[in-house]
A and B are shown apart, each in its own frame.
Chain A
C-alpha cells in the first residue's frame, strides 16, 4: 500500500485539500431516513465507538457491535461497554455478513489489519465508515470496489459526543465521501444521515474530503491542541519553580489554567481571551506571543510539511513496527516530569487570577492557535477547517488537562495524536529554551505589579488591531455566528 495522497497529481491534491463547505441545517431535512431500517455494525467499542453508537440508537437506528474474539472471550472493557448498555454484541462472522453499514471505530494503528479482516465478510454494496481518514490517506487502503467508503468525524472526544447529544445538541462534525469508493452515489446521503444520528447537524457540519480531514487533523493535534499545551505546561511549571513560586500553586495554575483561559476562546476567540487581561498585561502577552511565533514558525512549517509529504506518517508507522518504542519512551518521560509529579495545591485561584498570573500561558495559546491556523491555510487547507482544527478544539483538549493533567490528555486523544504531541514537544522544549530565560515570574506565576495600569494609547491601539485583524478571528466570528444561528444560545 502506498500513501494515497502522494499518488495524486498536484492539481488533484490541491483540489482535495481545498474541499470544505459549511453545510446549512436545511440540507439535513431528511434526518436519519437514509439509514432507517439499515443494520449498522460498529467495530470496536472504545471512546468513539460506544458514544457514537449510543447516539445513533437513541436516534432510532439499529446498532450492534462486532468485537474481536479476544474482547468477547475475555469480557474486556469494550465488551462490557457494549453489553451493559444493552447492545447486541457478536463476532465478525455473526454480524458482518448482514451489515449494511460497518463503522470502523478501532484505533488508527489497527485499521489496516481490521479492514483487511472484515472486508471479505462484508456484503456486496455495503458501506464502510471511518471517523478519521488516516488509513485511506496515509496508508492507501484499497477498499473493494462495490463498497461505499465515507467518513463522519466528530471534532470532539467521544465523551463530548455523547454529552452534547444528551443535552439536545451535538458536536461539530466533518463528513466526507471517498470518491474512489462511491459506486452507487449514495455516500453523501449516508454520511449526512449518520451525522444527524449523532446530533452533529445541530452544531454544524463541514462537508470536506478524506485528505483535507487527515492533513488538518494531524496538524492541529500535533501542534496547538496537544503539543503546545504539553510544552507550555512543562516550561511554565519549571519556570515558576525556578522563580520560587510555591509548587502546589504552580501546578494548580497550569492544570486548571489552560481550561480557564481557553474557555474565553469559545465565546469570543483570541480577541476575547486577550481582552480578559489588563491593558499592560495584554501588551506583554502580545509581545511574548510575537516572539514565540517567530521562534516556532519553522517548527510549525516542518510539522505541516512532514504531514503533507507523508514523512510524519511513515515515521510513526516505523515506530508501530518497532513496538511503539518512541511512543512508550516519551510517554514514560512525560510521567516523570516535575509538573506531572507535583500535586495541585489546595489554594483558591479565582477565574480572573488565572489570566492575571498566567500571561505567558495566554501568550502561548495565542501563538499556537495563530501559527497553526496560518500554517494550515498556507498549505491549502480551507480556513473553516483550519479553525475547527485549531482554535475550536483547544478548550476541549484543555478540559482533559484539568481532569488529570498531561496523563489524561494523552490517554483521551488517539494514539496518532499522542505520538504527534510528543514529537512536537520533543522539538519545541529546546527550541524555546533561550526565550524562556527572558521570562520572569511577572509573566507566569505572580502577575504584573500593577500599581500603574497606564499604557501608551498608540501602542494599545496597534496591539488591539493586530489581535482583532488576524484571519482566525475573522473566520471564527463567522463560524461562531453560524453556531449561534444554529442557535446555540450560550
Chain B
C-alpha cells in the first residue's frame, strides 16, 4: 500500500493554552496502521487532532501530512453542533428554523454520493434524513460524522473513539467495514479500550502527560502485552484489594514510632558501611532513601527487616520490639512488606503466580501453609488489578523479569502491612516495565494507610506523596 509518510520531529503543540503536547517524535510510514492509547487526559486525542491540523506548533516540525485528512472525534462533533446552534441565533427571529437537515450535512463535502447513499441505509439513517442535525441523538450524530469522513475521499482517516456510542450492530458493521477500507486507506485510531483494537492495526503509540512514551510494533508480542498491561493499570477502575480480615496483627502503640534506630553502625572486619546513624520513622511518614552505590541503603533497610545479622548488636526498636530481647524474626516480618531485586533472585521456588502472591500473608518464599479461600480470592483480585488474571496458575519462574517484579510488589502489599519497603523496585527494568511498576506503586500509595520506604537513586522515578528524604 502506498500512502503518506508523516513525520513529527520533536514537535510541541499548544491547544489554546489549555493543553500541550511535548517533544513528540513519531513517524508513520506507508502501510502502517496506528492505534494511539493512553489514560483519560493523557493527550491521545490531542495527538490525533494534530494530524488533522489542529493546535499551534510551538517548536519542532510536522511534515508529510496529506491534504485530505478526515477526523472523527467528539470535539469535531461538538464543534459542528455548536456551529448549528450559532446559526440558529443568527437567524431572523420571525422565521422558525429547525436548523440544517441531516441530508444537507451529509452532502456537504461529499465526494462519493453512491457510497453515502449506501452508508445511510446501512446505518439506518434513512428515516432521519429530513430531521434537523442538531436534534439527533449522540449516537446518530456520530454516524453522520462517520459518513461525512468516509465519503470525503480522504488520504488519511483519523478516528478518535469511533465505536463510542454506537449500537452493537453498527459497531460490528463498522469494524468489518474499516477492516476492508484499511487495505487501501491509512488510518490512525484512538481507543481507550485495548480489547477493541481491530486486527488491522500494525503499530501502537502510548501517550502520557502530553508525551509520546512508547511505540510498539504489534508483531512484538511481548511489548504488546506489556503495553496492554500498562494501559490496564493506568485506566482500570479496580480497587487495591483489602487485606485478610482473619489475620489480626498485635496492635501497635500509636504513640510510638514504627522504627527507631539509634547510632547504628554496621562494620565488617575490613570496612565500615556506616556509623552512628540515627533514624526515626513515624507512622504515615513516607520516606525516600537515596545514596550512591555502596552507601549502605540496602544494609540499612535490612537492619529494619531483621535480615541483617548486625541488627542484634545495634540499638533498634521496630514495631515495639527492642531487637535482641527474645523476639523472633517472624514477629517483626509480620508488620513489613518488602520488595527488592535480591528478593527476586532468592524467589527461585517452583510455584504458581497465585501462590507467590499468597505467600505474602506468611512472609515466606514459597508457600508452606495451606491457604484459605479468602486468601485465594484476595490474590485473584490482585491478579485482576495487575491484568494477569489468566496467568494465575502459571509457574512464577517462567515469567518475565518485569512480571515477576509486579507480582512481588503485590505479594508485599497483599497483607496491607504497616510498613512497605521498596528497595529499588525499578532496578533492572526497561522503560515500559518501570512505568508498570511505578503505576502499581502509585495506586498502592493512593489507596492505603501503609507507610512507605522507597529506595531509589533515579529521581525521575518519583512517586507522588513521598515527602521525607534520607540521603546516605
Chain A residues with CB under 8 Å of chain B are 32, 36-37, 54, 57-62, 75, 80, 83-87, 166-169, 202, 486-490
Interface membership of B349, Cβ < 8 A: yes
> B312 to A489, Cβ gap below 8 A?
no
Chain A residues positioned under 8 Å from B364 (CB to CB): 167-169
Mark each residue of chain B from 89 to 121: 1 if its CB lies under 8 Å from any CB of chain A, else 0: 000000000000000000000000000000000
Report how far A166 CA is from B370 CA in the complex, Å. 19
Chain B at the A interface: SS class:
loop
> A59 to B369, Cβ gap below 8 A?
no
> B269 to A489, Cβ gap below 8 A?
no
Report how far A202 CA is from B313 CA in the complex, Å. 28
Interface membership of B442, Cβ < 8 A: no
Say yes or no: A80-B269 contact (C-beta < 8 A), given A58-B328, A86-B310, A167-B349. yes
> A169 to B368, Cβ gap below 8 A?
yes
> B365 to A166, Cβ gap below 8 A?
yes
Which of A36, A58, A80, A488 is the one whose CB lies under 8 Å from B368? Answer: A488
Interface membership of B296, Cβ < 8 A: no
In the assembled complex, the CB of B321 is this many whole angstroms from the nearest CB of chain A, namely: 10
B: contact size bracket: 20 to 34
**23 A/B residue pairs, CB under 8 Å, sorted by A:** A54-B309, A57-B312, A58-B306, A58-B328, A59-B328, A61-B326, A62-B326, A84-B309, A85-B309, A87-B312, A166-B307, A167-B366, A168-B359, A168-B364, A168-B366, A168-B368, A169-B368, A202-B368, A487-B367, A489-B355, A489-B367, A489-B368, A490-B349
> B362 to A36, Cβ gap below 8 A?
no
Chain B residues with CB under 8 Å of chain A are 268-269, 306-307, 309-313, 326-331, 346, 349-351, 355, 359, 362-370
Report how far A54 CA is from B306 CA in the complex, Å. 11
Say yes or no: A488-B310 contact (C-beta < 8 A), given A36-B326, A84-B269. no
User: Closest B-chain residue to A267, C-beta based?
Assistant: B350
Say yes or no: A487-B312 contact (C-beta < 8 A), given A59-B329, A168-B364. no
Chain A residues positioned under 8 Å from B351 (CB to CB): 489-490
In the assembled complex, the CB of A11 is this many whole angstroms from the nearest CB of chain B, namely: 41
Report how far A327 CA is from B307 CA in the complex, Å. 39
Report how far A80 CA is from B269 CA in the complex, Å. 7
Report how far A87 CA is from B309 CA in the complex, Å. 8
In the assembled complex, the CB of A18 is this many whole angstroms from the nearest CB of chain B, namely: 30
Report how far A85 CA is from B309 CA in the complex, Å. 5
Say yes or no: A167-B269 contact (C-beta < 8 A), given A59-B329, A490-B350. no
Report how far A406 CA is from B294 CA in the complex, Å. 35
Chain B residues positioned under 8 Å from A486 (CB to CB): 368
In the assembled complex, the CB of B260 is this many whole angstroms from the nearest CB of chain A, namely: 18
In the assembled complex, the CB of A30 is this many whole angstroms from the nearest CB of chain B, namely: 14
Which of B269, B346, B367 is the one whose CB lies under 8 Å from A75? Answer: B269
> A168 to B365, Cβ gap below 8 A?
yes
Report how far A58 CA is from B309 CA in the complex, Å. 9
Report how far A327 CA is from B207 CA in the complex, Å. 69
> B329 to A487, Cβ gap below 8 A?
no
Chain A residues positioned under 8 Å from B326 (CB to CB): 36-37, 60-62
User: Closest B-chain residue to A168, C-beta based?
Assistant: B364
Which of A36, A80, A85 is the one whose CB lies under 8 Å from B310? Answer: A85
User: Closest A-chain residue to B358, C-beta based?
Assistant: A489
User: Closest A-chain residue to B331, C-beta based?
Assistant: A60
Report how far A38 CA is from B47 CA in the complex, Å. 71
Chain B residues positioned under 8 Å from A86 (CB to CB): 309-313
Chain B residues positioned under 8 Å from A168 (CB to CB): 330, 359, 362-366, 368
Chain B residues positioned under 8 Å from A80 (CB to CB): 269
Report how far A87 CA is from B310 CA in the complex, Å. 8
Report how far A32 CA is from B326 CA in the complex, Å. 11
Chain B residues positioned under 8 Å from A169 (CB to CB): 364, 366, 368
Report how far A169 CA is from B367 CA in the complex, Å. 9
Report how far A43 CA is from B366 CA in the complex, Å. 33
Report how far A51 CA is from B309 CA in the complex, Å. 12
Chain A residues positioned under 8 Å from B329 (CB to CB): 58-59
Chain A residues positioned under 8 Å from B309 (CB to CB): 54, 84-87
In the assembled complex, the CB of A351 is this many whole angstroms from the nearest CB of chain B, namely: 13
Say yes or no: A487-B368 contact (C-beta < 8 A), given A59-B328, A168-B362. yes
User: Closest B-chain residue to A163, C-beta based?
Assistant: B346
Report how far A210 CA is from B306 CA in the complex, Å. 35
Interface core residue of A36, A57, A75, A489 (most chain B CB under 10 Å):
A489
Which of B269, B307, B330, B346 is the one whose CB lies under 8 Å from A83? Answer: B269
Interface core residue of A57, A61, A75 (most chain B CB under 10 Å):
A57
Given A169-B368, A490-B351: 10 more A-B contacts, CB < 8 Å = A58-B306, A61-B326, A84-B310, A85-B309, A86-B309, A167-B346, A168-B330, A168-B365, A488-B366, A489-B367
User: Closest A-chain residue to B327, C-beta based?
Assistant: A60
Report how far A292 CA is from B326 CA in the complex, Å. 54
Chain B residues positioned under 8 Å from A59 (CB to CB): 328-329
Q: Which 8 A-B pairs have the closest CB atoms?
A: A168-B364, A167-B365, A85-B309, A58-B329, A60-B328, A86-B313, A86-B310, A489-B367
Report how far A79 CA is from B363 CA in the complex, Å. 31
Say yes or no: A487-B365 contact (C-beta < 8 A), given A59-B329, A86-B309, A86-B311. no
Report how far A167 CA is from B349 CA in the complex, Å. 9
In the assembled complex, the CB of B442 is this many whole angstroms from the nearest CB of chain A, namely: 29
Interface core residue of B306, B309, B311, B331 (most chain A CB under 10 Å):
B309
Report how far A84 CA is from B366 CA in the complex, Å. 28
User: Closest B-chain residue to A169, C-beta based?
Assistant: B368
Report how far A434 CA is from B329 CA in the complex, Å. 56
Chain A residues positioned under 8 Å from B328 (CB to CB): 32, 58-60
Chain B residues positioned under 8 Å from A57 (CB to CB): 312
Chain A residues positioned under 8 Å from B369 (CB to CB): 487
In the assembled complex, the CB of A41 is this many whole angstroms from the nearest CB of chain B, namely: 16
Chain A residues positioned under 8 Å from B359 (CB to CB): 168
In the assembled complex, the CB of A337 is this many whole angstroms from the nearest CB of chain B, namely: 31
In the assembled complex, the CB of B295 is this many whole angstroms from the nearest CB of chain A, namely: 19
Chain B residues positioned under 8 Å from A202 (CB to CB): 368
Report how far A75 CA is from B369 CA in the complex, Å. 42
Report how far A166 CA is from B342 CA in the complex, Å. 13
In the assembled complex, the CB of B154 is this many whole angstroms from the nearest CB of chain A, namely: 53
In the assembled complex, the CB of A326 is this many whole angstroms from the nearest CB of chain B, namely: 36
Chain B residues positioned under 8 Å from A167 (CB to CB): 346, 349, 364-366
Chain B residues positioned under 8 Å from A36 (CB to CB): 326
Report how far A490 CA is from B349 CA in the complex, Å. 7
Report how far A91 CA is from B310 CA in the complex, Å. 21
Report how far A60 CA is from B329 CA in the complex, Å. 7
Chain B residues positioned under 8 Å from A488 (CB to CB): 366, 368
Report how far A61 CA is from B369 CA in the complex, Å. 24
In the assembled complex, the CB of A153 is this many whole angstroms from the nearest CB of chain B, namely: 21
In the assembled complex, the CB of A64 is this many whole angstroms from the nearest CB of chain B, namely: 11
Report how far A37 CA is from B311 CA in the complex, Å. 19
Chain B residues positioned under 8 Å from A489 (CB to CB): 351, 355, 366-368
In the assembled complex, the CB of B40 is this many whole angstroms from the nearest CB of chain A, namely: 41
Chain B residues positioned under 8 Å from A487 (CB to CB): 367-370
Report how far A80 CA is from B267 CA in the complex, Å. 12
Report how far A86 CA is from B308 CA in the complex, Å. 9
Report how far A59 CA is from B306 CA in the complex, Å. 11
Report how far A487 CA is from B351 CA in the complex, Å. 13
User: Closest B-chain residue to A36, C-beta based?
Assistant: B326
Report how far A202 CA is from B364 CA in the complex, Å. 12
In the assembled complex, the CB of B340 is this many whole angstroms from the nearest CB of chain A, namely: 14
Report how far A396 CA is from B330 CA in the complex, Å. 26
In the assembled complex, the CB of B180 is this many whole angstroms from the nearest CB of chain A, namely: 46
Chain B residues positioned under 8 Å from A61 (CB to CB): 326
Chain A residues positioned under 8 Å from B365 (CB to CB): 166-168
Report how far A233 CA is from B254 CA in the complex, Å. 62
Chain B residues positioned under 8 Å from A87 (CB to CB): 309, 312
In the assembled complex, the CB of A55 is this many whole angstroms from the nearest CB of chain B, namely: 9
In the assembled complex, the CB of A356 is this many whole angstroms from the nearest CB of chain B, namely: 22
In the assembled complex, the CB of B314 is this many whole angstroms from the nearest CB of chain A, namely: 8
Report how far A202 CA is from B351 CA in the complex, Å. 18
User: Closest A-chain residue to B352, C-beta based?
Assistant: A489
> A84 to B268, Cβ gap below 8 A?
yes
